[in-house]
Structure 1
Amino acid sequence: MNTELIPARPVIVTGKRKRTRGWKGNGLLYAMLLPAIVLTFIFSYVPIAGLVMAFQDYQPWLGFTKSPWVGLQQFRTIFQFPDSVQVIWNTLIIAGLKIVAGLIAPFGFALLLNEVRSNIFKRSVQTLVYLPHFLSWVILGGILVDVLSPSGGLFNRFLSIFGVEPIFFLGNGNWFRFTVVLSDVWKEFGFSTIVYLAALAGINPSLYEAAEADGANRWQQTIFITIPSLVPMAIVLGTLSLGNVLNAGFDQIFNLYSPLVYGKGDIIDTYVYRMGIQNGQFSFGTAFGLFKSLVSTVLIVVSYRLAYRYGNYKIF
């Protein structure tokens, strides 16, 4: 058989390359993105100009240009007020408890849900525990006020069966912190479980097969395979949550608290709202909010550094 090599045709490269789809080709997509950009600019970037109030004795009738400048006086006032220091401690305590409980609850729930063999039951439970995440604290706050009421509330009625005196969960400072943390966990732990379930799905099944061949039972497989596989994800979530240590949840606290629990339930966000908006101390409220933002920014940077170092996690 006579075979001959057929020379390939030379490829002629023109000097002008065809341009990929740009603004014209993706115009519809950019148009869909435009409203989000406009809203972000209006509500996130334009208000930055108002930070000058933190360095002024701002008076609304004088405006930004004529209000007297006081330098860092507003920031010094933050640490001179006993209420301000107490508010910072309240925020750290409530946010810290939320972070710890918010890590333990979904971790344990994911382990338990992983042992369920019925897919129908597993999916039903997942749906039920996810639902509270999509409800506003305005709705949940009203429900909790009714359920935890000391006079006729469903929970106190249940406690009365065992002879327990009614508890004012939302009117006692110590019980208020407990209620806030527990209700936040109840609302969010189902949604947070998604991350751990995704990590569980990525575990190599051969590890379980090898452990079962060696005689390991389900409990031993959980201890030596499942939990160590979830620990890196828990470390990442724990370090990233450090950036929210000054965010104790304005929506939740605002819809649940009252003057009875200001001493142990008032946080930075609610305090700034009350002092800055309701009491008209705009400069003090702005300075306190700026102080919180600066500290949160530092904590976010540190948390991402820790997550990259110990959990090999990075965004960019």
Structure 2
Amino acid sequence: MDYIFKNYFLYLLLAPALILTLLFKYLPMYGAIIAFKDFNPMKGILGSEWAGLKHFTRFLSSPNFEIIFMSTLKLSLYGLILGFPVPIILALMINQLRRNAIKKNIQLILYAPNFISVVVIVGMIFIFLSPAGPINIILTNITGKPLMFLTDPEYFRSVYIISGIWQGAGWASIIYVAALASVDPELHNAATIDGANIVQRIRHIDLSTIKPVMAIVFILGAGSIMAIGFEKAFLMQTAMNLPTSEIIPTYVYKQGLQAGDYAYSTAVGLFNSVINVIMLVAVNFIVKKLNEGEGLY
């Protein structure tokens, strides 16, 4: 207690973040009770009757469960596998630039897409990939026919993942660029004198430096593997690409806010969160085994 009183100013600085976390992260967990009740808005959460695991059973036995679950899993898994190495590669390339002016301009170009809103990104996707868009004009001149990127379920995941990598890879590379900035230049000089080429220096010096950061980022990415952003998938949905574009977040939105089935949608969302927690613990355990005890916790 003496330490707290002596350093009360530090705790005052921490207080706003702590209060916001409690208000917007922990208190809303109370609403998860709805998943175990036949929720009636007129009776409230406490007044509604208990339903047990009825809503979870309903979702798991639904004919759409396998389709929605696998669509969510594939979209997240492919996005993680394909998107994880791109920021690392960009950071390594940026780190090799020696002229600061060029480096800053390239970083600005790479970071810019992250600040474009999801609505604008989807609008750009629709413009570029529409049957009369510039990409299909080129494809038509080459193959003689356009590709239905926006309506064919086969192309939804590719368009979603590639556009996501383009938008977020530059911004995600910041943490790796910062880690690489701590590398002692003398290590590279010594390796060059010993005859190491650029690939060997990157492998044994740069990658070794950012290895702990890579482990943490991968664990966090795997831990949120089912937590796909709802907005982009929903905005990209069409009646024809639903077999691959209908994922758990969009399904929760439709069942909860559009259909008004709050208890069922809460159960589906809670199921999704439980899967994320299981993935986080499992991946952290595996990474610690493979990474000499270094993990998220």
TM-score band by shorter chain is 0.7 to 0.9
Match of 1:3 in 2: none
Residue 258 of structure 1 and its aligned partner are, at CA, apart by: 2.0
- For the 8 Å contact 2:252–2:268, the answer to whether it is kept is yes
Show the counterpart of 1:123.
104
How far 1:307 sits from its partner (Å)? 5.3
Deviations 1:281-303 (A, max 9, x none): 22211111111122222333444
- 2:30 matched to 1:49? yes
Shift of 1:41: 4.7
Where do 1:295-306 residues align within 5 Å?
Answer: 295-306=275-286
SS in 2 for 1:57: strand
Tell me, what secondary structure is at the counterpart of 2:38?
Answer: coil
The reply on whether 1:103 has 2:89 as its aligned counterpart is no
**Aligned residue pair count:** 294
Q: Which amino acid aligns with 1:166?
A: P
Structure 2, unaligned stretches of length 5 or more? none
2: CA distance, partners of 1:199 / 1:27: 29
Structure 1 residues 215-226: aligned runs within 5 Å? 215-226=195-206
Corresponding residue for residue 253 of structure 2: 273
Of stretches 42-51 and 122-131 in structure 1, the one that deviates more from structure 2 is: 42-51
Question: Is structure 2 residue 173 aligned with structure 1 residue 193?
Answer: yes
Question: Is 1:167 the counterpart of 2:147 in the alignment?
Answer: yes
Residues of 2 paired with 1:305 and 1:195: CA distance? 23
1:237 aligns with 2:237: no
- The alpha carbon displacement at 1:225 in A equals 3.3
Query: In the aligned structure 2, how far is the partner of 1:87 from the partner of 1:181?
Result: 17
Q: Tell whether 2:96 aligns with 1:112.
A: no
**CA offsets 1:244-279 (integer angstroms, 9 cap, x no match):** 111122122122122222211211111111112212
Structure 1: distance between partners of 2:88 and 2:194 = 27
Matched, 1:288 2:268: yes
| More displaced stretch, 82-91 vs 222-231 | 222-231
Q: CA deviation at 1:207?
A: 2.5
Which has the larger share of helix?
2
Tell me if the contact between 2:219 and 2:280 (Cα under 8 Å) persists in the aligned partners: no
Task: Report the Cα distance in structure 1 between the residues aligned to 2:113 and 2:292, rounded to whole angstroms.
Answer: 29
Q: Is the 8 A contact 2:215 2:295 kept in 1?
A: no
Q: Secondary structure at the match of 1:175?
A: helix
1:141 aligns with 2:118: no
Spell out, residue by residue over 1:103-149, the C-alpha distance to the aligned partner (whole angstroms, 9 max, x if none). 11112222222222332111111111101112221221122222211
- Report % sequence identity: 30
Q: Distance in 1 between matches of 2:119 and 2:292?
A: 36
User: Offset of 1:38 from its aligned partner?
Assistant: 6.0
CA distance in 1, matches of 2:249, 2:199: 44
Counterpart Cα distance in 2 of 1:239 and 1:39: 25
For residue 58 of structure 1, what is the aligned residue in structure 2? 39
CA distance in 1, matches of 2:88, 2:259: 43
Deviation at 1:306, TM superposition (A): 5.0
String of CA shifts for 1:143-189, please: whole Å, max 9, x gaps. Answer: 22222112x21222233342352222221112010000001111110
Does the 8 Å contact 2:216/2:295 carry over to 1?
no
Q: Residue 240 of structure 1: CA displacement?
A: 2.4
Q: How far has the Cα of 1:80 moved from its partner? A: 0.7
**Residues 62 and 229 (structure 1 numbering): CA distance in 2 closer, same or farther, change over 3 Å?**
closer
Structure 1 CA distance, aligned partners of 2:165 and 2:69? 22
Task: Give the counterpart of 1:252 among 220, 232, 236.
Answer: 232
Aligned to 2:6: 20
Distance in 1 of aligned mates of 2:81 and 2:145: 30
Closer, same or farther: CA 71–114 of 1 in aligned 2, 3 Å: same
- Residue of structure 2 in register with 1:158 after alignment: 138
Deviates more, 1:208-217 or 1:190-199: 208-217
Using the size of structure 1 for normalisation, the TM-score is 0.81
Inter-partner Cα distance in structure 1 for 2:275 and 2:31 = 19
Cα distance change of structure 1 residues 212 and 41 upon mapping to structure 2, 3 Å threshold: closer
Range 70-79 or range 229-238, more displaced: 229-238
Which residues of structure 1 form unaligned runs of 5+? 1-18
What amino acid is aligned across from residue 6 of structure 2 in structure 1?
A: T
Q: Work out the CA distance in 2 between the residues paired with 1:123 and 1:92.
A: 37
The residue type equivalent to 1:283 in the other structure is A
